[in-house]
Structure 1
Amino acid sequence: MGNNLSKLQKAIALKQFLITAEITPPKGGNPERMLEVAKVLKNRVHGVNITDGSRAVLRMSSVAASALLLRESIEPICQVTGRDRNSIGLQADLMGAYGLGIRNILALTGDPIKAGDHPQAKAVFELESIRLLNLIDKLNQGFDINNKALSDGKLELFAGAAVDPQSKSWSGLQRRFEKKIEAGAQFFQSQLITDFEKLDKFMTQIAIKGDRPILAGIFLLKSAKNALFINKYVPGVEIPEHIIKRLEKAQNPLQEGIKIAAEQVKMAQDICQGVHLMAVKKEELIPEILDLAGIKPLQ
């Protein structure tokens, strides 16, 4: 099992245009809806991101949910955050993920506890995303966080990271991007992109030096109300007025949202190496977005 490259790794090596999509694990013990959605995406994406308590809202463990996807021969990208676990818990989960056959990991700091449905819970944050990437790199070399050798073999995890090309601080963006590459990030999935000029500037001025694939975050907007909600509650995201107007005027706002997402996928094709699609509670519409953008099913 050790030397098998993930589908994502193979696609990166072949310099293919990468497509990933995000789904949330179940809130409870029944994974049926998650698996149904994942099956719809199976031959359309190189990897399905499974979130780890996104927005600090309780869900099934991302490692367990990723293992359920693997059973159906669907490739997961397992998100792991430093918010809820200390370094012992994180190492244990990363070893467990590897033992279950999971290869792709997206290392994240995690959303603040106060944002979620358990505001009274205790945050850990012993490791943020860069230190988590360093930890994965160590485990891949066969050592734990204390530089003690792993007696039962090293891991071979394929680690990625998040990036925000629309960050207000250009120097901060550059510094964190470079640190994540130094720490071992092999690919980057971006936050929701609305300013493709900024993405282009990021690609030509910062990302070019890293030589790692960047996947632009594309979000399915369901209505003008949905867009306004995101502007209000999602930090660092500014959905432009002209897009909100389009959604307002549309007879079928959801269909218009699909059209906008497809246009953005096409724009991304000219700028970066892939797209990361987010269609909260409407993930089954992702194939329609890809069809409209002229992206064929994977071979």
Structure 2
Amino acid sequence: MSSSRFGQAIQQGEFLLTAEITPPKGADPRAMLALAQQLKGRVHAINLTDSNRAMARMSPLAASVLLHQAGIEPIFQLACRDRNRLALQGDLLGGAALGLRNVLALTGDPIQVGDCADARAVFDLESVRLLQLIQRLNNGLDCNGKPLPDGGTHWLAGAAVEPQSGSFSGLERRFNRKLENGAEFFQTQMVTDFEQLERFMDKLGRPGGKPILAGIFLLKSAKNAQFINRNLPGVKIPEAIIQRLANADHPLEEGIRIAAEQVKQARQICQGVHLMAVKAEHLIPRILDEAGIPPLN
């Protein structure tokens, strides 16, 4: 098990809090670090996305190291889209050498949805086989099963899960394969159906024995919610929530209230929340305050 603060919180059975920050489009990390400082002491760890939605950004490895150096716990997101197994192994060994301990293994969004349409996708591995590689490195073996000269790494590996998947059999198969290959925590995609989340927890999440963090997204307006419904496969924000946002005098304030309500719901169902507030990460402490979640000790 990792000696990270996040790993300790898992061991101690705390209600887990993570948030997501997108690394900058350029080479200046100051705005990213300032945002992260606002979240310090409110969440156990901060995810640094890996060119999410296939939009070119600063390396999540570099961004994670910068947070680590600033005394803020990162979760290094690592996607298979852009790297073969040699590069994946190199980033994992480099990250371990630089003091990183938490990694989220992802397949990655398709190139076509992003801003570099002429780039070539790699997908040498996908998320389950990436988990296998991480487990191998932790056991002191390289991608070919040969011993590492200095012993194993100490990654705390996590994975994504989609409780609202239209195919329960597919969800069950992928979830169990990730468990079998070393996933120690799961962060869900954006949750909009808490009854479905509860069914997932009853049938798979609790029996799996690893913490599940429900994805909570800050909606800024009815237009924002409608855009997500049109463009994010598998996400269906209920019409009642869209109407609340549309009828509100201050839609962003209503969005904060909705997110806080969802944090409270998730607290009754699973072991944590993963907070996503794109371009409004500074509002995450307000969401937590509204939900009655105090600063961390």
With the length of structure 2 as denominator, give the TM-score of the two structures: 0.99
Q: Any idea what SS the aligned residue of 2:160 has?
A: strand
Please tell me the residue identity of whatever aligns with 1:218: I
Deviations 1:31-80 (A, max 9, x none): 01100110000000000000001000000000000000011100000000
Question: What is the aligned-residue RMSD (CA, Å)?
Answer: 0.8
Unaligned runs of 5+ in 1: none
Show the counterpart of 2:285. Answer: 287
Question: Which of these residues, 168, 171, 188, is aligned with residue 170 of structure 1?
Answer: 168
Question: Which of these residues, 244, 247, 269, is aligned with residue 246 of structure 1?
Answer: 244
Show the counterpart of 1:221. Answer: 219
Show the counterpart of 2:116. Answer: 118
1:133 equivalent to 2:137? Answer no
Query: Partners of 2:16 and 2:204 in 1: how far apart?
Result: 20
Question: Which of these residues, 179, 204, 208, is aligned with residue 206 of structure 1?
Answer: 204
Conserved? CA contact 2:2–2:155, under 8 Å: no
**CA apart distance, 1:209:** 1.8
Query: Partners of 2:135 and 2:26 in 1: how far apart?
Result: 32
After TM superposition, list the pairs within 5 Å mapping 1:139-178 onto structure 2: 139-178=137-176
Show the counterpart of 1:80. Answer: 78
Conserved? CA contact 2:55–2:116, under 8 Å: yes
Query: Partners of 1:120 and 1:4 in 2: how far apart?
Result: 38
Q: Any idea what SS the aligned residue of 1:107 has?
A: strand
Query: Partners of 2:285 and 2:88 in 1: how far apart?
Result: 34
Query: Partners of 1:39 and 1:208 in 2: how far apart?
Result: 33
Show the counterpart of 1:191. Answer: 189
Percent pairwise identity: 61
Q: Any idea what SS the aligned residue of 1:207 has?
A: helix
**CA apart distance, 1:154:** 1.4
Deviations 1:231-278 (A, max 9, x none): 011111000100000000000000000000000000000000000000
Query: Partners of 1:280 and 1:81 in 2: how far apart?
Result: 19
Question: Which of these residues, 269, 272, 277, is aligned with residue 270 of structure 2?
Answer: 272
Show the counterpart of 2:106. Answer: 108
Show the counterpart of 2:69. Answer: 71
**CA apart distance, 1:153:** 2.5
Please tell me the residue identity of whatever aligns with 1:290: L
1:16 equivalent to 2:14? Answer yes
Question: Which of these residues, 227, 231, 234, is aligned with residue 232 of structure 2?
Answer: 234
Unaligned runs of 5+ in 2: none
Show the counterpart of 1:298. Answer: 296
**CA apart distance, 1:101:** 0.4
Query: Partners of 1:154 and 1:215 in 2: how far apart?
Result: 27
**CA apart distance, 1:4:** 6.5
Q: Any idea what SS the aligned residue of 1:126 has?
A: coil
Query: Partners of 1:49 and 1:106 in 2: how far apart?
Result: 8
Query: Partners of 1:289 and 1:110 in 2: how far apart?
Result: 28
